[in-house]
Amino acid sequence: MSLYATATTRQALADAWEELRADARADGTVSVGVTRFAADADDRLTELAEQLAARTWAPGPLTPVEIPKDDGGVRTLAIPPVADRVVEKALAAVLTPVIDPHLHPACYAYRPGLGVTDAVQHVARLRDDGLGWAVRADIDDCFPTIDTRRVRRLLAELIDDADLLTVVDRLLARTVAGRPATARGLPQGAPLSPALANLALTHLDEAASTAGFPAVRYGDDICLLAATRDDADQGRAIIDTAATELGMRLGDDTQIMSFTDGFCFLGEDFGTRYPPVIDTHRVLQPATRTVYVARPGAAVRIEAGRLLVETPDDTELLNVPTGHVESLALFGPVGLSAGARTWALTNDVEVIPGSRRGHYLGQLHTRSTRRVTRLRRQLAAADTPDRALPIARTLVAGKIRKQVVLIQRLTRREPHEQTADSIATMRRMQTMLDAAGSRDEILGLEGAAARAYFTALGHLLPAELAFTGRNRRPPLDVINAALSYGYTLLVGEAVAALAAAGLDPAIGLLHTDDDNRPSLALDLIEEFRPLIVDQVVATAARKRTLTTGHGRTDPDRPGVLLTEKGREALIDAYEHRMLHVTRGALPGFAGSLRRHLHRQAQRLAAHLDHGADWTPLSWR
C-alpha cells in the first residue's frame, strides 16, 4: 500500500482527528472550529476520506492568528481549518518515519521520542568533553522564510508517491486570508510544518558538522559548541553562511558565550558544572538481567532458588535469585552444572557461550518456538534473490546510515576534513546499493563503507590507542578486541531474539550460511553495531575508561585480549546502553534498545511471513 493510500484511509483520518482533539484538550482551550467538527465528526471524516480517495480534496485558506510573545511583541501563526489539520496529521503520521532517519543527530525538536531534556543533556556532554565555548543563535522569522520549493525538492528525493506529493503541493500553495501564495514560508500552525522545517534546516546542521563543529538545534534555536573562542568565531561564520544559502538569516541576538560566564539555552542555565550529565537519563532498570561470567575456571550452579558463581577455590563471585536472571553469557573456560543447565532450559533462560577472546561459539536454546511454515518461508526467501536482496540492501543501508550518525556525533574540529571525506564515501556507497544485483555486490559496498567508517573512527579516538582500522581473528589492538567482544554479546542476543520470533538464526538473507555461522543473526545486528557496540567502545575510549592498559597478550596466541578489568568496563557500558529506553525509533513502539532488537526480529518474521514492511531503526 502506498504512503498516500495508508494516510488517507477512513481509519487513519479518524486516528488523526482523535490525536488533534486530544492535543486541543491538553492545551486547555478547545477552539470553536474543533467543537464544530466534533459535532458531526463521523460524517466529516467520511467525506474527507471519499474526497481524498477521488483525488478531489483541496485545502482551504489559512487564518492568521496573533500570539503574544514574552518580549512584548507578537507572533503570527497561520492556522489551517480543522479538516485540513486532520489531513495534515494523517500525512505526518506516514511521512515522519520516512523523514526522521534522514535528519541530522543535532536536531532534537519535533521528533518522536526526543525533547528538551535530550537536547540539554547533549550540550552538557559536549561541555564535559572539553568544549568550553558556545555560539547561541536562532533563525530570524524561521518558518515564514523557509523556501518551500527546496522543501518540496527534498521531500521528492525521499518518497516516490505522486499522489502524496500532489497533496503536499496543494498544502504549500495555500493562501493566508486571501493573499497570494509565495515560494517562501511554512505555516507555523500547521501540523506538517515542523517535519518539513526540520528537513529544510538539515543543511545548516550538516554545514556545522562537516566543518567539525558539534551542535544542538531545537527548532530554530541553535547551540554550536567549540573548544576555543577563535573556533567559536569560525563556527558562527559557518552557520551564518549556511543560513544565507537557505535564504534565511541568524537573529540579531546571536552571541558567543563560554560555560565559565554562563548562558541560557532552551530555558536551562548552563555553567561549568550545571546542568550535570545524568547517566541514568532514559535508562530503565529491568526486573531481570543478563549475567556475564568470564573468570577462567569459574562455575555456575543453582542452589535453593539462587544462581551462584564460584571460583575453583569456592570463592563466591555472585549470588542472586534465579528469578532475577534473564540470560547467561559465559566466556572461556567457565563451567555450567547439570542443575543450572536444566534450570535454564526449563525456565527459558538463554545460555550463550563464547571463547576467551569473545568470539561467539553457539547457543543453548530453550524450547523452540519455530514454526515449520515460517521456516519454509525463510528458506524460500533466502534462496530467492528477488526476496532476499531488497531486505539485504535495506539492512546495509540502515547500518551505513547509523555509521554516519555516529561519526557526526563524535565529530570534532581537528580531524574534520578526514571525517568529512569518510562520510562522503559512506554516503556514496549507500546510494549505490539500489543498483547492487547480488549479495556479493551488496557486501562489497558494505565493506567499502566500513573501511571509510573505521578510518574516520580512528581519527576520532585517542592517538595512543593506535586504532587505524578493523581487524579480527585475532584483533591486534584494544579497540578491535573490544569491538569483537561487544559484537559477540550482540550476536548472542540476536540469536535468542530470532529463535523467539520463530526464525532459524543460521539462514541469512545477506550473509550466507556456508561457513557454520548464525548468518541471520549477523544480518539482524548490522544496524545495531554502530548504534550500540561502536558507540559504547568509542565513548569508553574517549573517556579513558578503556585504555591500552585494558589489553594483554598471550605468549601462546597472537593478537590482543581484553583484561578482566577491560571486560568488566565494556560489559557495564554495553548493558547500560542496551537498557536505554526510547520512543520513535520505530513507529508506534517504545522500550529499551534490547526490546528494539527483539522487535526487529519479530518484524523480520512478519516480513518473511506476509511481506510486511521492514525498515531500520531511526537513531535515538
Label residue 282 by pLDDT band (50, 70, 90): confident
At a CB cut-off of 8 Å and minimum separation 6, what does 383 contact? Answer: none
Q: Is the pLDDT of residue 50 over 90?
A: yes
What is the pLDDT, as a whole number, of residue 383? 87
Residue whose grid cell is 547500518:
399
Highest mean pLDDT among 8-17, 172-181, 340-349: 8-17
313-355: per-residue pLDDT in tens? 989 999 999 999 988 989 889 999 999 999 998 888 888 888 8
Is residue 375 exposed (0-12), middle (13-18) or buried (19+ Cβ within 10 Å)? Answer: middle
At a CB cut-off of 8 Å and minimum separation 6, what does 266 contact? Answer: 116, 119, 120, 218, 221
* DSSP-assigned letters across all residues of 217-256: EETTEEEEEESSHHHHHHHHHHHHHHHHHTT--B-TT-EE
Please tell me what DSSP assigns to residue 592: E
What is the pLDDT, as a whole number, of residue 338? 94
What is the share, in percent, of the chain residues with pLDDT greater than 70?
Answer: 96
The mean pLDDT value for 425-449 works out to 96
Question: What is the model's pTM?
Answer: 0.89
Is residue 344 exposed (0-12), middle (13-18) or buried (19+ Cβ within 10 Å)? Answer: buried
What is the pLDDT, as a whole number, of residue 182? 63
Q: Is the pLDDT of residue 521 over 90?
A: yes
What is the pLDDT, as a whole number, of residue 361? 82
Numbered residues of the known binding site:
446, 511, 526
Label residue 558 by pLDDT band (50, 70, 90): confident
Report how far apart, in Å, the C-alpha atoms of 329 and of each of 51, 74, 115, 568, 588 are: 57, 60, 35, 13, 31
385-395: per-residue pLDDT in tens? 989 999 999 99
332 SS3 class:
coil
The mean pLDDT value for 238-251 works out to 96
What is the pLDDT, as a whole number, of residue 203? 97
Half-sphere exposure of 311 (CA within 13 A, CB side): 5
**Gap between the Cα atoms of 430 and 314, Å rounded:** 54
Numbered residues of the known binding site for Mn(2+):
446, 511, 526
Q: Is the pLDDT of residue 15 over 90?
A: yes
State the cell numbers at 42.
463521523
